Structure 1
């Protein structure tokens, strides 16, 4: 099971589009759309949000992404009336970027708090976390050239984040947290870019070896 996601928008098409995009990064995560009114108009629907929450809940919790303030208010009402409101969190995050980042975190097996943090990109204001309780030791370094036609766009970036998240190591790419989808995308790395990865912690060497193998495979593309 994984943390589920609900995308709430005033437009059914926007909600469905965000779900389609995020699902490309997280095929095993349940992501439900709750867009538009009950009659297909522009607005939000309590009933649609309530149904989406039930669809996305697997027992590990649900993170909700909203487009505008009134969508948040409707989502909060649905949350208050939910059977287990403590397992539902409304992220203070942009709906597209937040949904993609949250989906990648959920796909990696992160818990509810970590998925919310990924959506809100709280880690962007802090240094990358150290792995475990052991001394970090000397940083391991990997330098490579991106061969992907479009560089580290959303899908290969998601593969990188998933790979880095699978190791007990603090991993950076060009100095930013390689386990943060939003920070990786913000680098805007294009084809031909020379990229430096560094890792510290018990699995540092293994993490960089996995990333090197991933790059040889063009990040799954």
Structure 2
């Protein structure tokens, strides 16, 4: 199970589109759209929000992202009607809907709890270039310094959304500080912001207990072309 995510928007299309985008990066995360009024007009729906929360709650918690102030009011009203045990597992993130949903979904996909998902989503609203509390690889080096390697992107579209998500999910599994061209390798938006396309070099650096393994496996992932031609 993972933390579930609910998108509350005044537009059914925005909510559903955001869910579809985030699902591409985090296929195992339960994402639910609660957009528009009951008849899919512009506005919000108490019933849609209530249903989405129930469907997204697997027991590990739910993070809710809202687009405008009245969406927050509808969500808060819906939360007044859930039982105390469930309410304790639900949190609203103060984050941009699209960027926050993508970053939060990847955090949930990699096993993050509610606090980690909220942190990732809210950090996305501050530029997303490095994770909260993250430090650049090499800032606490051992005697020999960080492990480094330069790899060239070979897949047609480089580190676009899906490969970037695959890269971040793999990087998040290592006990190491890892960077790509100086950006935190565990930050999806940071990696995507690099604009690494086919033929560009990715300079990997890591330090920490898993540094050597991390660099080897991440380099192999890039060299494999992420399964793309």
For the criterion TM > 0.5, the same-fold answer is yes
1:159–1:148 CA distance, 2 compared to 1 (3 A): same
Secondary structure at 1:101's aligned position in 2? helix
Structure 1 counterpart of 2:155? 148
Is 122-131 or 197-206 further displaced after alignment? Answer: 122-131
Could you tell me how far 1:130 is from its partner in structure 2?
8.4
1:125–1:216 CA distance, 2 compared to 1 (3 A): closer
Structure 2 counterpart of 1:214? 221
Structure 1 counterpart of 2:100? 98
Checking the alignment, whether the CA contact within 8 Å between 2:120 and 2:131 is kept in structure 1 is no
Structure 2 counterpart of 1:117? 119
TM-score (norm 1): 0.92
Structure 2 counterpart of 1:44? 44
Could you tell me how far 1:20 is from its partner in structure 2?
0.9
Checking the alignment, whether the CA contact within 8 Å between 2:158 and 2:196 is kept in structure 1 is yes
Secondary structure at 1:7's aligned position in 2? strand
Cα distance between partner residues in 2 of 1:142 and 1:126: 25
What number of residue pairs does the alignment pair up? 218
Could you tell me how far 1:182 is from its partner in structure 2?
1.4
Q: Return structure 1 stretches of 4+ with deviation > 4 angstroms.
A: none
Checking the alignment, whether the CA contact within 8 Å between 2:11 and 2:42 is kept in structure 1 is yes
* RMSD of aligned residue pairs (Cα, Å): 1.8
Could you tell me how far 1:68 is from its partner in structure 2?
1.5
Is 121-130 or 192-201 further displaced after alignment? Answer: 121-130
Unaligned runs of 5+ in 2: none
Checking the alignment, whether the CA contact within 8 Å between 1:130 and 1:169 is kept in structure 2 is no
Unaligned runs of 5+ in 1: none
Structure 2 counterpart of 1:64? 64
Could you tell me how far 1:76 is from its partner in structure 2?
2.0
Once the two structures are superposed, what CA deviation does each residue of 1:97-128 show, in whole Å capped at 9, x if it has no partner?
11111111111111111111111116748562
Cα distance between partner residues in 2 of 1:52 and 1:19: 12
